[in-house]
Amino acid sequence: MLLRLVFVTVLLGSSILVQFKDRESLIAPPLLVLYGLIATVYILTFIYIIVFKRLGPSLRFAYVQIGLDTLFVTFLIYVTGSIASVFSFLYLVVVVYASILLYKRGSLIMATLCSIQYGVMIDLEYYGILKPFDTEAGLTIQGYEESYVLYKIIMTMVACFLVAFLSSLLAQQTLRTEKELKAKQKDLEQLEAVNASIVHSMDSGLLTLTSAGIITTFNRAGEMITGFSREEVLGRPLSSIFPHVVQHAASSDAPLKKKPYRYDVEFKKKDGTAGYLGFSMSSLKEPDGKHIGKLLIFQDLTAFKNMEEHVKRVEKLAAIGEMAAGIAHEIKNPLASMSGATQLLKKEATNTPVARKLMDIVLRETDRLNVLANDFLLFARPGSDKIESVELSSAIGDTLELFRKNGICQNRITVVQDLAPEVWTEMDPKHTRQVLWNLLLNAAEAIDGTGTIQVSSKTAEDMVQVTVKDDGCGMSEETISKIFDPFFTTKAHGTGLGLSIVYRLLEPYNGRLDVQSRQGQGSTFTLYLNRIDPPGLLS
Ligand code: ADP
Ligand code: MG
């Protein structure tokens, strides 16, 4: 509608100017007609707008408008000299925009309308039924040869149909490519959404690097594993979060070209905790094979490594235990005979004081050997034949009572207790006592001079947590890493079996032992045991 207005104004306006120069009057009849035409178009456009507001985009309305346009053009051609008019090309313009709006069908209909109107108009004039509009303008139509008139009509028709055909072809093609493009766009958007959700939902961390080592992609699992958020990581070099990985990445450029590689490395999370990372790296390529960076997929192996260590320790203990049990058995019998024989010898009246002293030493040392052999056996075959429900606060309380009376505590160590009442676990009571005893003994041995041991218990969901805390000498990192190894001891007369036994005893109950300690600042051992409902409730 707008284009029509502009077109009419410019075209007819300019022809008014041209005509005006010829006639030197503003009210010559052809000029009046042009004025009228311009006014008609403006009024029509006004009506169109109102109708359009009512109907909205409608195909039928477009047919009406363009159909009226053909009438308008025919009239214009008639007033500007029909067969001699310069405006017959306007038919083609109408046909072209009909093809854009109405495609093939519409443009062919419009071409037909134009042809009929042109033919009828020229014929009527030729046979004198229609008077030429502007008789002063020179030649009338009868002045032309009949063949020329026919030729002109046919050419106009052919031109109309040809243009209708070609331009609708083009319009249709444009429509098709537009549709295809839209479909492709939709596919692409879907594909992108699927891709993004895959990367987002996978359990493994994923990051991509440019060839310069700058991080460009980082998924949600990556955030969980490392503790860094996407915003903190994107655009930064890899070395800022995984310094260890970078060493591997740098040293592995050559094999990288062939296939992905796997590595296990240590790494530090954002909060500083250490962990293990398993990652594989592969080359990131564009579809045409151009290398544009690297792709890293990584998993948090910390829990897995810890488990592995635990399993290794258990296996080691079991192997050593088997051997130790055999030896301990063999040692215990001769040891009993030796200590019995020495005790008899000691009673002999003829003994000199020196001999007595020597025999005391033998007895003391056989006692120690006996303790060691017992430890061995306990460690090797803990034997849990009497599993029953144990009320922890009283079991621990009894053990502490005994411990306070033990020689190692007397006048030196204060034992404080803070126990949650009525907490039950399932365990051999002998084992409960032994575990606690070993921890208490270690705590007391760690205290030089006077000190305090705090024993407390508390519940957490289906677990009980028992802590034994001392203010003794504490341990270095290195010591901590070895204390569960059998025979590891830092004491002159230690066996190094105390904690190994604890470990072994807890195993069948799925119990756990944690340790926290600093050199010179005391140690805290935490026991985790499964908690059960009080047996009274069940019966
Ligand atoms: P042992 O007591 O015979 O040395 P254990 O297995 O009981 O053997 O303990 C191993 C080592 O762990 C000890 O030698 C000691 O160095 C360390 N340790 C255990 N408990 C404590 C503690 N409460 N404070 C400091 N060090 C401890
Ligand atoms: Mg010990």
Q: Which atom of ligand 1 is nearest to the CA of 498?
A: 7
Cα separation, 310 vs 303, in Å, equals 10
Q: What is the pLDDT at residue 254?
A: 44
443 within ligand 1 shell (Cβ under 6 A)? yes
User: Pick from 391, 387, 329: which is nearest to 508 by CA?
Assistant: 387
Q: What are phi and psi of 98, to 5 degrees?
A: -60, -40
Instruction: Give the pTM.
Output: 0.49
Rg (CA), the chain: 52
CATH code for the domain defined by 388-537: 3.30.565.10
Residue-wise pLDDT tens digits, 389-420: 999 999 999 999 999 998 888 889 999 999 99
Q: What are phi and psi of 239, to 5 degrees?
A: -60, -20
Torsion angle in degrees (nearest 10) through CA of 419, 425, 430, 432: -40
Q: Copy the structure tokens of residue 312.
A: 């290794």
- Per residue, the 3-state secondary structure of 467-515, as one string, reads EEEECCCCCCHHHHHHCCCCCCCCCCCCCCCHHHHHHHHHHHHCCEEEE
Contacts of 358 (CB under 8 A, 6+ apart): none
Helix (H, G, I), strand (E, B) or coil at 72: helix
Q: Which atom of ligand 1 is nearest to the CA of 501?
A: 6
Q: What is the pLDDT at residue 188?
A: 93
**Same fold for the domain at 202-301 and the one at 388-537?**
no
Q: What is the pLDDT at residue 311?
A: 85
Which of 441, 499, 502, when mutated, tests ligand 1's pocket best, judged by the most ligand atoms within 8 Å of its CB?
499
Residue-wise pLDDT tens digits, 506-515: 988 989 899 9
- Contact present, 249 and 263 (Cβ < 8 Å): no
159 within ligand 1 shell (Cβ under 6 A)? no
H or E segment to which residue 413 belongs: strand 413-418
Which of 473, 483, 497, when mutated, tests ligand 1's pocket best, judged by the most ligand atoms within 8 Å of its CB?
483
Average confidence (pLDDT) per 10 residues, the chain, 539 residues: 87 78 69 84 91 86 92 89 86 92 91 94 87 66 83 93 93 92 94 90 90 90 91 89 72 51 81 85 86 89 85 81 80 89 87 89 89 82 80 95 90 93 92 94 94 94 93 93 90 89 89 91 94 75
Cα separation, 298 vs 277, in Å, equals 7
Cα separation, 485 vs 499, in Å, equals 8
Domain ranges of the chain: 57-179, 202-301, 309-380, 388-537
CA 410 and chain centroid, separation: 60
Q: Reply yes or no on domain 202-301 having CATH 2.102.10.10.
A: no
Cα separation, 477 vs 288, in Å, equals 53
Helix (H, G, I), strand (E, B) or coil at 150: helix
